[in-house]
Amino acid sequence: MTDANDVLFDYVTHGNPSSTEHTKRYLRRYPQFSQEIVELAAIWRAISTIQFLLGDTSAAPCPATASKMTRRARRLVARSAERVHA
Protein backbone atom coordinates (compact mmCIF):
# COMPACT_ATOMS: atom_id res chain seq x y z
CA MET A 1 0.00 0.00 0.00
CA THR A 2 1.22 3.45 -0.88
CA ASP A 3 1.36 6.06 1.86
CA ALA A 4 1.04 9.85 1.62
CA ASN A 5 4.78 10.45 1.96
CA ASP A 6 5.52 8.20 -1.02
CA VAL A 7 2.87 9.93 -3.13
CA LEU A 8 4.09 13.42 -2.22
CA PHE A 9 7.70 12.49 -2.87
CA ASP A 10 6.70 11.13 -6.28
CA TYR A 11 4.60 14.23 -6.97
CA VAL A 12 7.56 16.55 -6.34
CA THR A 13 10.25 14.48 -8.03
CA HIS A 14 8.41 13.33 -11.18
CA GLY A 15 6.93 16.50 -12.58
CA ASN A 16 6.31 20.16 -12.03
CA PRO A 17 4.33 20.79 -8.81
CA SER A 18 3.52 24.28 -10.14
CA SER A 19 1.67 22.74 -13.08
CA THR A 20 -2.11 22.48 -12.82
CA GLU A 21 -2.13 19.47 -15.14
CA HIS A 22 0.48 17.68 -13.02
CA THR A 23 -1.60 18.35 -9.89
CA LYS A 24 -4.82 17.15 -11.55
CA ARG A 25 -3.10 13.98 -12.73
CA TYR A 26 -2.04 13.14 -9.15
CA LEU A 27 -5.45 14.03 -7.74
CA ARG A 28 -7.07 11.59 -10.18
CA ARG A 29 -4.45 8.90 -9.52
CA TYR A 30 -4.50 9.23 -5.71
CA PRO A 31 -7.91 10.58 -4.60
CA GLN A 32 -7.33 9.20 -1.10
CA PHE A 33 -4.46 11.70 -0.72
CA SER A 34 -6.17 14.67 -2.34
CA GLN A 35 -5.94 16.87 0.76
CA GLU A 36 -2.21 16.28 1.11
CA ILE A 37 -1.59 16.86 -2.60
CA VAL A 38 -3.62 20.09 -2.60
CA GLU A 39 -1.81 21.39 0.48
CA LEU A 40 1.62 20.63 -0.95
CA ALA A 41 0.71 22.16 -4.32
CA ALA A 42 -0.58 25.30 -2.59
CA ILE A 43 2.54 25.72 -0.52
CA TRP A 44 4.78 25.01 -3.50
CA ARG A 45 2.96 27.57 -5.65
CA ALA A 46 2.93 30.19 -2.90
CA ILE A 47 6.66 29.88 -2.39
CA SER A 48 7.29 29.94 -6.14
CA THR A 49 5.14 33.07 -6.48
CA ILE A 50 6.88 34.82 -3.62
CA GLN A 51 10.28 33.99 -5.06
CA PHE A 52 9.19 35.25 -8.50
CA LEU A 53 7.81 38.49 -7.05
CA LEU A 54 10.96 39.07 -5.04
CA GLY A 55 13.08 38.38 -8.09
CA ASP A 56 15.54 36.48 -5.97
CA THR A 57 15.06 32.77 -5.37
CA SER A 58 17.41 32.88 -2.38
CA ALA A 59 15.52 35.66 -0.56
CA ALA A 60 13.37 34.68 2.39
CA PRO A 61 9.95 36.37 2.45
CA CYS A 62 8.48 37.98 5.53
CA PRO A 63 6.62 35.25 7.49
CA ALA A 64 3.32 37.19 7.36
CA THR A 65 3.56 37.53 3.57
CA ALA A 66 4.46 33.86 3.14
CA SER A 67 1.54 32.82 5.34
CA LYS A 68 -0.92 35.03 3.45
CA MET A 69 0.29 33.73 0.07
CA THR A 70 0.10 30.13 1.27
CA ARG A 71 -3.52 30.54 2.42
CA ARG A 72 -4.51 32.16 -0.89
CA ALA A 73 -2.73 29.47 -2.90
CA ARG A 74 -4.45 26.73 -0.88
CA ARG A 75 -7.86 28.23 -1.68
CA LEU A 76 -7.03 28.46 -5.38
CA VAL A 77 -5.70 24.92 -5.60
CA ALA A 78 -8.63 23.59 -3.55
CA ARG A 79 -11.05 25.12 -6.06
CA SER A 80 -9.11 23.44 -8.85
CA ALA A 81 -9.27 20.11 -7.00
CA GLU A 82 -13.04 20.48 -6.53
CA ARG A 83 -13.42 20.87 -10.31
CA VAL A 84 -11.39 17.70 -10.88
CA HIS A 85 -13.61 15.70 -8.53
CA ALA A 86 -16.88 17.19 -9.83
Cβ(73)–Cβ(46) below 8 Å: yes
Rg (CA), the chain: 13
Residue 81 has pLDDT above 70, yes or no: no
- Give 11-69 pLDDT, tens digit per residue: 888 888 878 899 999 999 999 999 889 988 888 888 777 777 777 655 555 666 666 66
What's the burial of 51, exposed, middle or buried (CB within 10 Å: 0-12/13-18/19+)?
Answer: middle
What's the burial of 27, exposed, middle or buried (CB within 10 Å: 0-12/13-18/19+)?
Answer: buried
